[in-house]
């Protein structure tokens, strides 16, 4: 028997918003059938227009409000919602922090796991925090523009203030944009696969103020390259590195495999947790350094190191957590699949005079199985995986090695819940509350630290 949805497309209905989804959309239910509505907050009474109906859920658009939430922020710039830069900007910051705590707790509850989730650690200024920008460059009405795509499309909305980025980065993008216009360097055209500049990437050290400009190009060389590089240096005195990245493929992937330094050095430096890091164009470096320090300090505190331990850092990147741990442990073993990241990690270990760290290039799950075979007996394993979470084989290898503690730094509560359940099957239990940290204010994303101990 086919169950018919209680609503159809273009219906106008009065609803009350009961919850927010993990993407920050309002949820209203019509006869238990959920409708997802952008720019709607819990408690609000709204007239909506149904825009799409699937088998078990639908989407709708808010037409008018009969009542508004006390947590609604007025006078927000809708561009930031349209582009997905700040999908939660209409929700007051204290309520954003509660939403993130609730999001983690709800996912565990749905999985019938009883956990305690501490209040989210927030920021004093939850804007202008990003130390890295990647913006598309396109021709609009015959003029080269920088901005951001409208969500679910490739229509560029020109922008000069990105709200959550370091203002010095916003300024640098405008200066580079103006120079590209001046030298008549054409923007990339996705449809014809012609043109030159695809994206501009800017990185800036939060503490060092060193700046890197990466020009992502379809071509091996830029028109007026020497003059452009010269003028960028003059316009932006903080620039220590100008890099050309070549991506000739017809693809949505931003960066190509060829990177050449046009000016200065191939890396910039910044400090984190009192350590110095070299950051290259392609290396992964946390985009919110102020919150990263809170996140990593939390991970180190929860690892409870005395200086006698062997620690494994899976997904070590350029060594940010590994080196911070190395100051408190006997030895640290780090692994990452990105070869350039491991090169950077080794340089960073030397830079900070830390000799008790060893790095390997491999898939984390492969290397863990290898270390397990080699008889490595870690006291603590720290994992900081990508959004897809941990491979089951990595969890199995970790449990086989039998560390007293696993410190799980997560950027996706859904995969955290799944992975914790697997660890519990293998004899581990959550110790103390899960600690959310707001790495990405104004967005629904949340990072957290969970400690698992061997039962």
The residues assigned a catalytic role are 411
> How many C-beta neighbours within 10 Å does residue 119 have?
13
> Which strands form 26-30's sheet, in the order they lie side by side?
12-16, 45-53, 58-67, 33-37, 26-30, 19-20
By three-state DSSP, how is residue 271 classified? Answer: strand
What's the gap between Cα 183 and its chain centre?
Answer: 34
* E strand or H helix that includes residue 143: strand 143-149
Q: How many angstroms separate the CA atoms of 418 and 188, rounded?
A: 41
The structure tokens listed for 372 are 């397990």
* E strand or H helix that includes residue 424: helix 413-425
Angstrom distances, CA of residue 128 to CA of 166, 290, 292: 5, 11, 15
Q: How many angstroms separate the CA atoms of 140 and 299, rounded?
A: 46
By three-state DSSP, how is residue 391 classified? Answer: coil
Q: Are 51 and 9 in contact (CB under 8 A)?
A: yes
Q: Are 92 and 73 in contact (CB under 8 A)?
A: yes
* E strand or H helix that includes residue 419: helix 413-425
CA dihedral 170, 174, 175, 180 (to 10 degrees): 140
- What number of H helices and E strands is found in the chain? 10, 23
The structure tokens listed for 262 are 């046009």
The structure tokens listed for 180 are 């590209």
Q: How many angstroms separate the CA atoms of 410 and 414, rounded?
A: 10
User: What is the sign, positive or negative, of the torsion defined by CA atoms of 344, 347, 353, 357?
Assistant: positive
DSSP labels for 71-82? Answer: TBPSS--HHHHH
Q: Are 248 and 179 in contact (CB under 8 A)?
A: no
Q: How many angstroms separate the CA atoms of 210 and 348, rounded?
A: 17
> How many C-beta neighbours within 10 Å does residue 159 have?
20
Place of tokens 């710039």: 77
């Amino acid at each position: 028997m086919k169950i018919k949805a209680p609503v159809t497309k273009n219906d106008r209905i009065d609803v009350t918003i009961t919850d927010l989804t993990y993407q920050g959309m309002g949820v209203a239910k019509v006869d238990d059938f959920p409708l997802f509505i952008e720019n709607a907050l819990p408690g609000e009474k709204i007239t909506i227009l149904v825009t799409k109906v699937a088998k078990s859920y639908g989407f709708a658009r808010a037409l008018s409000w009969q009542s508004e939430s006390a947590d609604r922020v007025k006078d927000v710039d809708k561009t930031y919602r349209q582009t997905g830069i700040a999908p939660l900007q209409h929700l007051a910051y204290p309520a954003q922090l509660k939403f993130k705590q609730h999001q983690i707790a709800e996912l565990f509850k749905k999985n019938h796991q009883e956990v305690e989730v501490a209040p989210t650690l927030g920021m004093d200024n939850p804007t202008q925090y990003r130390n890295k920008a990647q913006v598309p460059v396109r021709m609009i009405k015959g003029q080269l523009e920088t901005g951001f795509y409208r969500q679910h499309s490739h229509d560029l909305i020109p922008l000069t203030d990105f709200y959550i980025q370091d203002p010095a980065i916003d300024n640098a993008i405008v200066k580079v944009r103006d120079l590209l216009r001046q030298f008549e360097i054409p923007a990339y055209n996705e449809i014809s696969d012609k043109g030159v500049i695809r994206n501009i990437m800017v990185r800036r050290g939060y503490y060092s103020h060193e700046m890197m400009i990466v020009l992502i190009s379809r071509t091996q060389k830029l028109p007026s390259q020497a003059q452009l590089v010269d003028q960028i240096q003059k316009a932006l005195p903080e620039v220590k590195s100008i890099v050309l990245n070549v991506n000739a493929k017809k693809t949505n992937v931003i960066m190509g495999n060829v990177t050449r330094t046009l000016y200065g050095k191939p890396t910039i430096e910044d400090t984190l947790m009192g350590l110095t890091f070299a950051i290259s164009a392609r290396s992964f470096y946390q985009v919110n350094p102020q919150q990263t320090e809170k996140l990593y300090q939390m991970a180190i505190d929860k690892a409870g190191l005395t200086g006698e331990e062997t620690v494994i850092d899976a997904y070590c990147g350029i060594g940010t957590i590994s080196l911070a741990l190395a100051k408190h442990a006997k030895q640290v073993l780090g692994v990452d699949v990105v070869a350039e990241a491991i090169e950077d990690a080794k340089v960073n270990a030397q830079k900070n005079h830390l000799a008790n760290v060893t790095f390997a290039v491999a898939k984390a799950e492969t290397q863990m199985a290898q270390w397990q075979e080699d008889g490595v007996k870690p006291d603590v394993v720290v994992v900081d995986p990508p959004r897809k979470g941990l491979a089951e084989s990595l969890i199995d290898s970790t449990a086989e090695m039998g560390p007293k503690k696993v410190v799980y730094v997560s950027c996706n509560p859904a995969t955290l819940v799944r992975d914790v359940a697997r660890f519990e099957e293998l004899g581990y239990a959550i110790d103390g509350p899960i600690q959310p940290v707001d790495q990405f204010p104004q967005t629904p994303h949340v990072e957290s630290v969970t400690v698992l101990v061997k039962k």
